[in-house]
Structure 1
Amino acid sequence: MDMEDIGIETTEAALNEMRERKRSRRAAIGAGVAAIAGFAFGAGRPAEAQTAVSDFDILNFALNLEYLEAQYYTLAYQGVTIDKVGIGITGPGGAPGGAIIVRSNPIVPFTTPLLKQFASEVAAEEAIHVTFLRTALGSAAVAQPEIDLMNSFSALASAAGLGSGFDPFASELNFLLGAFVFEDVGVSAYLGAVGLITAPPYLDAAVGLLGTEGYHSATIRSRVFALGAAAQQAATAISATRAKLDGTGNDDVGLGVTSSGASTIACADANGLAFARSTAQVLGIVYGGGTGKGAFFPGGLNGNIR
């Protein structure tokens, strides 16, 4: 998909209305820190309660997401999976890591030196995140689940109205839009998790990871914004689709310019706060609306939160 193929119409008025209707969900998140909140996907579907979880459960949930991000960036920059560059993906007892579904030769044809350097940096940092979490978890670290980096993107692009056959490795723009899918979700996932973690060392680690994901997200959103209206409209369509998949419909902000002339680079609510998502809401996105599995994780996540 090239920029010319993007047919989503997003007006300044629509962007302004979208931003104005954002409301802080901090109170709701704070009220549910003792347990992971359920969520309603689609009208009329009852919330699905989840049992209380341990710090290790939360860290393993994060590890699953870091596997996804590390594989994406490493394949985009180096063309190989993270286990080929010395990053562990096995689970307890040596359980093997899942396969990666990706096209042949996924190296992105970078032409912008700054963007290539950024891809190199993020690939290294996401790989380090995997190692960091695996070290913290020790023998409790789950294996990498099966990850789909082909059909998942195509389905998401179709759901967003961007056409079928989207390939995130085909161009710099596509790479940025693929990264746009992940990074905002990572920020909201870590922010939602910090209230569930009880041990101070693990809480410190989660906050540190949140900060780095925030840097990644801001850089990606800035680069997409700088590419102009068509790229901004594609990102806004992806943003709206994420909000629909997590069951809220309104906890995400696309890219554009409001009627007051302000950009919407920061994915923040009406109070200027980053959005937080429960694990169930994150799963709604990475599973593409499926239950227990789907989209980026065809067989589901590994661990107790799935």
Structure 2
Amino acid sequence: MAKFAYATTTAIVFLILLPLSCSSESILHHHHHGGNSSVQKSDVDLLEFPLNLEYLEAEFFLYGSLGYGLDKVYPSLAQGGPSPIGAKKAHLDHFTRDVIEQFGWQEVGHLRAIKKTVKGFPRPLLNISAASFAHLVAGLLGVESGQDAVIRALLYQRAELKVEPYGITVAEFTNRISELRNKLGHEGLKDEGLVVPKHLGAEGKVSGNILVGDEYSLACGRTPEEILRIVYGSGNEHVPGSFYPKGADGRIAKSYLKNE
């Protein structure tokens, strides 16, 4: 049981509840599967902004599972950007490590797809140290809904286990993470933990909450401003920090840094 609980503790770090309001996947799918060969100018910024998150996800998952990141597995994707701060291999059980490694290689594919479509930019300076995660109580990455569903389902199975050294259950841990993200995002209730009051569950009938949704059980999107407030850990899209010590890159993110 101790080993089982430990695997749960490490998996908590991978809890992800930050869907993008403008999906890079839908744009890329259209482009690579029969769509127009050129990207609309209005789509370029929407593709480049998520690149910040794809870099973070790729490095986080690769280092967590393998102990190294893009500089070793695909150096050209980093485009000479600085290596991440504080990146280390996580102490994972075999099953969790396997899942996280799969996510890492998927993120490499996402980076390749974006850079095949738009020019992009070098990897920004990323802080994925333990201190950075402790500051934000972990779990502030933004990944695709398929990965999110896998992780939440795994955590839901362990909802009543205690997370050491915090002394609270997995369910309560996820609730506190969601409360923090909602607070930083400044746009109301968009994140929820694994167990919620029944009136917030699907159709007001259940308290289990494997998939997060609004009153119609539809996913809640987040604007670039909200995402920056959360991943900066400052609650302010103009003030970088946490995962992005020098700020995110691309025209959208830089436009907020210029307006401090």
TM-score by length of 2: 0.71
Distance in 2 separating the partners of 1:292 and 1:269: 29
2:84 paired with 1:100: yes
CA-to-partner distance for each residue in 1:176-235, whole Å, 9 max, x for gaps? xx4x432xx44xxxxxxxxxxxxxxxxxxxxxxxxxx11100111111222223011111
Unpaired runs of at least 5, structure 2: 7-20, 23-40, 161-168, 199-204, 254-260
Distance in 2 separating the partners of 1:254 and 1:90: 33
Over 3 Å counting, the alpha-carbon distance change for 1:257 and 1:250 in structure 2 is: closer
CA-to-partner distance for each residue in 1:70-121, whole Å, 9 max, x for gaps? 0000000110121210143445xxxx30231115xx222222x332221121
Which letter does structure 2 place at the counterpart of 1:107? K
The sequence identity of aligned pairs, in percent, is 28
C-alpha contact (below 8 Å) 2:124/2:248 kept by paired residues: yes
Instruction: Give the match for residue 61 of structure 2.
Output: 73
Distance in 2 separating the partners of 1:299 and 1:134: 22
Which letter does structure 2 place at the counterpart of 1:120? E
Instruction: Work out which structure has the larger RCO, using CA pairs closer than 8 Å and 6 or more positions apart in sequence.
Output: 1
Which letter does structure 2 place at the counterpart of 1:83? D
Which letter does structure 1 place at the counterpart of 2:151? I
Which letter does structure 1 place at the counterpart of 2:92? F
1:88 pairs with 76, 82, 92, which one? 76
CA-to-partner distance for each residue in 1:119-165, whole Å, 9 max, x for gaps? 1211110111111111111xx211110000123212112xxxxxxxx
1:265 pairs with 206, 210, 215, which one? 210
C-alpha contact (below 8 Å) 1:255/1:265 kept by paired residues: yes
1:256 pairs with 195, 198, 203, which one? 195
Alignment partner of 2:76: what SS? coil
Q: How far apart are residue 262 of structure 1 and its match? A: 3.6
Which letter does structure 2 place at the counterpart of 1:256? V
Instruction: Give the match for residue 49 of structure 1.
Output: none
C-alpha contact (below 8 Å) 2:196/2:208 kept by paired residues: yes
C-alpha contact (below 8 Å) 2:178/2:191 kept by paired residues: yes
C-alpha contact (below 8 Å) 1:63/1:130 kept by paired residues: yes
Q: How does 1:41-56 map to 2 (within 5 A)?
A: 54-56=42-44
2:256 paired with 1:274: no
C-alpha contact (below 8 Å) 2:60/2:128 kept by paired residues: yes
Unpaired runs of at least 5, structure 1: 5-25, 30-52, 158-177, 187-212
Distance in 2 separating the partners of 1:90 and 1:82: 7
Instruction: Give the match for residue 140 of structure 2.
Output: 181
2:118 paired with 1:118: no
C-alpha contact (below 8 Å) 2:140/2:230 kept by paired residues: no
Distance in 2 separating the partners of 1:246 and 1:82: 29
2:208 paired with 1:300: no
C-alpha contact (below 8 Å) 2:71/2:78 kept by paired residues: no
Distance in 2 separating the partners of 1:156 and 1:56: 30
Over 3 Å counting, the alpha-carbon distance change for 1:277 and 1:257 in structure 2 is: closer
Instruction: Give the match for residue 257 of structure 2.
Output: none
Q: How does 1:123-138 map to 2 (within 5 A)?
A: 123-137=104-118
Distance in 2 separating the partners of 1:302 and 1:287: 13
Alignment partner of 1:181: what SS? coil
Alignment partner of 1:148: what SS? coil
TM-score by length of 1: 0.61
Q: How does 1:154-169 map to 2 (within 5 A)?
A: 154-157=134-137
Over 3 Å counting, the alpha-carbon distance change for 1:304 and 1:292 in structure 2 is: farther
Distance in 2 separating the partners of 1:59 and 1:297: 19
Distance in 1 separating the partners of 2:210 and 2:178: 12
Distance in 1 separating the partners of 2:76 and 2:221: 29
1:288 pairs with 233, 240, 243, which one? 233
Instruction: Give the match for residue 208 of structure 1.
Output: none
